[in-house]
Structure 1
Amino acid sequence: MKRRDFVVSGLALGPGLILAAPVKVQTLTEARIWLDQLEKAPGAKTTGTWPLVSVLEHLSQSIEMSLDGFPQPKSAAFQHTLGAAAFAVFQWRGKMSHGLDEPIPGAPALTAQGDWKPAANRLRAAIARFEANTGPLKPHFAYGALSKAEFAQAHVFHIANHQDEIVSG
Structure 2
Amino acid sequence: MNRRQFIKASVLTPVALVLASKLVATLRQYPLSDILVQLKALPPERLTSSGVWNVSQILQHCTQSISYSIYGYPQARSPLFQYSIGKLAVNAFAATGKLHHPLDEPIPGAPALEPGLPNDVALRELIYHVEQFMDWRGQLQPHFAFGNLTKAQYYSVHNLHLQSHLEQISIS
TM-score tier by shorter-chain length is 0.7 to 0.9
How big is the shift at 1:27? 2.3
User: Identical aligned pairs, as a percentage?
Assistant: 36
| Structure-2-length-normalised TM-score | 0.79
Residue correspondences, number: 143
**For the pair shown, which has the larger CA radius of gyration, 1 or 2?**
2
In 2, distance between residues paired with 1:72 and 1:37? 33
Whether 2:170 is the aligned partner of 1:167: answer yes
Equivalent positions of 1:76-155 (< 5 A) are 76-155=79-158
Q: Distance in 1 between matches of 2:171 and 2:91?
A: 32
- Structure 2 stretches lacking a partner, 5+ long: 1-29
Counterpart check, 1:36 vs 2:40: yes
**Higher strand content, 1 or 2:** 1
1:95 Cα deviation (Å)? 1.6
Structure with greater helix percent: 2
Structure 1 residue ranges without an equivalent (≥5) = 1-25
Amino acid at match of 2:42: L
Please give the root-mean-square deviation of Cα atoms over the aligned residues, in Å.
1.3
- Ranges of 4+ aligned residues in structure 1 off by more than 3 Å: none
**Aligned counterparts of 2:95 and 2:117: Cα–Cα separation in 1:** 37
The TM-score normalised by the length of structure 1 is 0.81
Q: Distance in 1 between matches of 2:38 and 2:112?
A: 25
- Report the Cα distance in structure 1 between the residues aligned to 2:171 and 2:140, rounded to whole angstroms: 34
